[in-house]
Structure 1
């Protein structure tokens, strides 16, 4: 059991809350307090918060559970950004209302909050109103969580493998059969295709393959926020595919064809995202698996000669950080695509000097 140490931390700033960290980092101003709902903060989320220069992170969920080795919390602390978990809330403890609803009801964007002695307050009508009791992460707590993750690693691997095999067997027929493609205009047949996903090291790997892109002029597909990575590198995506929940408005307006990944019934969060953004020029692609899986399948079924994956999710750690407990669809799709798929994950290490 964690022992809560007395804290002399006192800081204040405008607070911003979004249950999806990848959305919050699109607009939170520098030197703000980021209030998130993100179990086991992953490396990408931490780097995005660091890039936005937030002052502190308050997490409604557990920033580092010890279920597996998540690295985001440690990265934030190394950059001098304190991380707090909400333990209880309100003037009284033991309330049953869900924390997310409580925070969203009590906290308006840009409202000034104060963190003092393990409590979160907001300023209201000239007085401090207590919102939550906090746990502050220290190096001691992080080491304890790492030890827990080490002890859980074998059991976690077993559960992950069993989940992967279960869903691979269940979905095998649907994934391995030919899939009806969406009506797109981008020509893919007999061309090289680069699929960019927001995975570990995706931006550095994309920069490392610039000579290849300049030589072969491949079709460029951005999976959700991967489209913004292409734009950041001076490249224009030909296609953007995904749930569209982490794509900037500039990417949506870049001229790329938009393909919304949906469930088999044609519904999905991407449809609502497009509607809320006032975008109606898109096609739907019903497909099992992740949006990354859907991008590979689309390129393969459209006759791509080679598919180069940047920022791919392939390890147990990759999937656990995405909140997925297995990789059945990814396993099957990689079997189906075979040697057409070239995984560029980590290619930056082979060309370190050139990439710099």
Structure 2
């Protein structure tokens, strides 16, 4: 069972999932206030992948959306991700719920109903994998209009940020040496922790610069790696992770305001700001490219057609598209690296060589009549060598 389900499961006889309500019309403000086991009450038409990932990362017990989570304009990815993670999603309950549900109230979600105690205060549609699949079929009809909007937004973004994209103007310098080194950028995309585990051999062999983006920084830290650079909103990153990073880069709005900067100052951690309209993932890629990375490997950064359209009219969509054009052939997906990367000498061959050497030594000792004690010592040594190689290639 998913963690969110364990946190939200009620022990009472009433069925459903229970959690403390966190209510906010603005998704960004709400995400900064969530704790594990909360029920997020928001008003978000077409929940996108990034918002859904943040909700799952926060460990919410459920989500109540005043608006349709899939409006049909385009096939957005957020609802599917929430349902796959085991987070109940009650959809389209109406905007009155934002006034009627008090922040901090104890909510219960069951079969499309939203309850405070035994009183039903709102009702919508509880999304399932089947209902989302049906809605996505209809939503694909809106892709043409979204592509037209995407093209217009890309031209506008390039006019506004052309000096950043084309010349790297405004990209902060970092003290970590990046020039002519490989860089691994880890963001909090789907299955990013699993992808990172598959890259352990690559990290051990090439020792790339490690850049953690938002939840990806926590994933690096939890996996036993020390992020060289952390990029993202400090309010969404764990304290121990922030303290473990060599450098922290905080995305700032064009007016200079940087969310989460106060927390960094309270922790006594040095940080630099990166004023731009792009998202944290794009800024991390631009940071690596501008500082001379020879290759940039990504984990948790998906940028296919569905991901571009998933962001709708968001200003970050053209940023993502143009950033990837900027990096060109320097940009490599981590899944491809894990698939192609192979150790130069296989574990099986090394084990056979060690076995042959030990067998020859044991035979020599046996023939020479030195004694059984030396044979036992040789066998113990062989087992130790095999265990060491297993640990090396684990």
Shared fold, TM over 0.5: yes
Q: How many angstroms does 1:139 deviate by?
A: 5.9
2:91 aligns with 85
Specify whether residues 244 and 135 from structure 1 end up closer, same or farther in structure 2 by C-alpha distance, changes over 3 A only: same
| 1:287 counterpart (253, 261, 276) | 276
Structure 1, unmatched stretches of 5+, are: 1-8, 90-94
Structure 1 position 227, deviation (Å): 0.5
How far residue 160 of structure 1 moved from its aligned partner, in angstroms, is: 1.7
**Number of the residue aligned with 1:152:** 142
Question: What do you get for the CA RMSD once the two structures are aligned?
Answer: 3.7
1:122 is aligned, of 116, 119, 125, to 116
Counterparts of 1:155 and 1:243, CA distance in 2: 32
Q: Which one of the candidate residues 28, 31, 50 is aligned to 2:36?
A: 28
Q: CA deviation at 1:144?
A: 4.1
Query: Once the two structures are superposed, what CA deviation does each residue of 1:108-127 show, in whole Å capped at 9, x if it has no partner?
Result: 1xx4323467542324xxxx
| Higher fraction of strand | 1
Counterpart of 2:63 in structure 1 is 57
Deviations 1:172-212 (A, max 9, x none): 24431242553532222222211112234433332222212
Shift, 1:84, TM fit: 0.8
Task: Work out whether 1:70 is the aligned partner of 2:81.
Answer: no
Q: Residue 269 of structure 1: SS of its match in structure 2?
A: coil
Distance 2:316 2:290 in 1: 24
Q: Which has the larger radius of gyration?
A: 2
Query: TM-score if structure 2 supplies the norm length?
Result: 0.69
How much does 1:215 deviate? 0.9
Q: Distance in 2 between matches of 1:129 and 1:352?
A: 57
2:126 equivalent to 1:136 = yes
Contact 1:197/1:224 (CA < 8 Å) preserved in 2?
Answer: yes
CA drift at 1:292:
1.9
Higher relative contact order (CA 8 A, sep 6+): 1
In structure 2, distance between residues paired with 1:174 and 1:47: 28
CA drift at 1:100: 4.2
Aligned residue number for residue 314 of structure 1: 303
Structure 1 or 2: more helix by fraction: 2
Distance 1:259 1:139 in 2: 38
CA distance in 2, matches of 1:48, 1:169: 30
Determine the C-alpha separation between the residues in 2 that align with 1:101 and 1:47.
26
Ranges in structure 2 where 5+ consecutive residues have no aligned partner = 1-13, 344-392
Measured in 2, the distance between the counterparts of 1:352 and 1:39 equals 41
